[in-house]
Amino acid sequence: MRILVTGGAGFIGSHVVDYFVSKGDNVSIVDNFLTGKRDNLNQKARFYELDITNFQGLDEVFKKERPDYVFHLAAGYLVQSITNPQRDAMNNIIGSINVIELCLKYGVKKLIYSNSGGASYGEPLEIPIKENHPINPLTPYGASKHTVEHYLYMYNKNHGLKYTSLRYGNVYGPRQDPKLEGGVICVFLDALLRGKSPEMKSDGTPTRDYVYVEDVVMANVMAMEKGDNECYHVATGKETSVIELFRMIQKSIGSSIEFVKGKPRIGDPARAAFDITKIKDEIGWRPEISLEEGIKRTAEWVKSQI
């Protein structure tokens, strides 16, 4: 198979690339290093340093690579979206429209889109959140990421383009950049393993649904064959508070260092946990890695980086 991964030098995207390379597939990567890193690139995949907002350049990649499947993970990030919502909209909306147009032009069999569950819904009306929950994002990132689902629906209805949209919980694991602030597990681990007190941007009570990156990769893989033209949560359905998470991390690495309180971030909901009944029933996916095991694996990677 011919696989194209946008954002393939990023945290999640690089793991998707590694999976398909390990299976012997023909893999190409598009990334502009907004959040990705050269160290994440798989040397057995072809790489194009390119911004997805560059339609002409992206067209040349599609023309040359002729992918069967496209995994669209290239995006801006939440913190940047608050300070620069215009750039966020260009990356996440205009860039995604470019990808969609070219999938249609070059006869891609299916587009698997990586969306954000945590940023899409705003303050939840119910826990766990179901896929039909009202969409009321509190950040430009959440608004722009969800907007793409409307384009996917439209292109499917009007042109027959097949897609699956995966709405992630809080993804964590090796290669997550603690400097981007989005991955609290790596932020805490990086500080504690350096002997520093991490900053907790809340009173510790907000809850999140943490899902390990390898489980997320498998959801992407399984969505190639099932779940056409649907949206699914990729999460665990389990609610963990930030303070509970911090204590788990302390215990895992044997640290007694305490956190310091910081200012809460704009747009952070008080609670989040996602119903995963739909993806279990229709695709057959379920998370395999427990939070305790995932923290242990992530800690080993963070240690190797320090």
Q: What is the CATH number of the domain that holds 185?
A: 3.90.25.10
Q: Are residues 277 and 179 in the same domain?
A: yes
**Is 141 a known active-site residue?**
yes
Distance, in Å, from the CA atom of 262 to the CA atom of 200, rounded to the nearest integer, reads: 6
Residue 172 near residue 213, CB atoms below 8 Å: yes
* Closest among 274, 267, 261 to 182, alpha carbons compared: 267
Distance, in Å, from the CA atom of 49 to the CA atom of 9, rounded to the nearest integer, reads: 10
How sure is the predictor about 181, in pLDDT bands with cuts at 50, 70 and 90?
low
Q: Which helix (H) or strand (E) holds 70?
A: strand 69-72
Q: Are residues 113 and 217 in the same domain?
A: yes
pLDDT over 90 (residue 143): yes
Q: Are residues 88 and 24 in the same domain?
A: yes
The residue count for the chain: 306
Q: Are residues 96 and 187 in the same domain?
A: no
Tokens representing residue 40 in the block: 């994440």
* pLDDT over 90 percentage in the chain: 88
* Closest among 2, 17, 4, 1 to 213, alpha carbons compared: 17
Q: Which of 141, 151, 172, 212 is catalytic?
A: 141
* Closest among 298, 232, 244, 292 to 271, alpha carbons compared: 244
Structural domain range at position 51: 2-170+212-234
Q: How many domains does the chain have?
A: 2
24: alpha, beta or left? (left if phi > 0; alpha if psi -120 to 50): left
* Closest among 35, 140, 146 to 87, alpha carbons compared: 140
pLDDT in tens, 78-87: 777 888 999 9
Tokens representing residue 293 in the block: 């095991």
Task: Return mean pLDDT, the chain.
Answer: 95
Q: Are residues 267 and 197 in the same domain?
A: yes
Distance, in Å, from the CA atom of 162 to the CA atom of 227, rounded to the nearest integer, reads: 10
pLDDT over 90 (residue 264): no
Q: Hey, what amino acid is at 191? A: A
Q: Are residues 182 and 162 in the same domain?
A: no
pLDDT in tens, 269-287: 899 999 999 999 999 999 9
β-pair partners for 165? 113, 231
Q: Are residues 7 and 85 in the same domain?
A: yes
Distance, in Å, from the CA atom of 247 to the CA atom of 239, rounded to the nearest integer, reads: 15
Q: Does the pTM exceed 0.85?
A: yes
How sure is the predictor about 160, in pLDDT bands with cuts at 50, 70 and 90?
very high
Query: What is the 8-class DSSP label of residue 129?
Result: B
- Give the mean pLDDT of 48-74: 98
Distance, in Å, from the CA atom of 33 to the CA atom of 14, rounded to the nearest integer, reads: 12
Least confident of 38-42, 75-79, 114-118, 155-159: 75-79
- Give the mean pLDDT of 104-124: 95
Q: Are residues 82 and 142 in the same domain?
A: yes
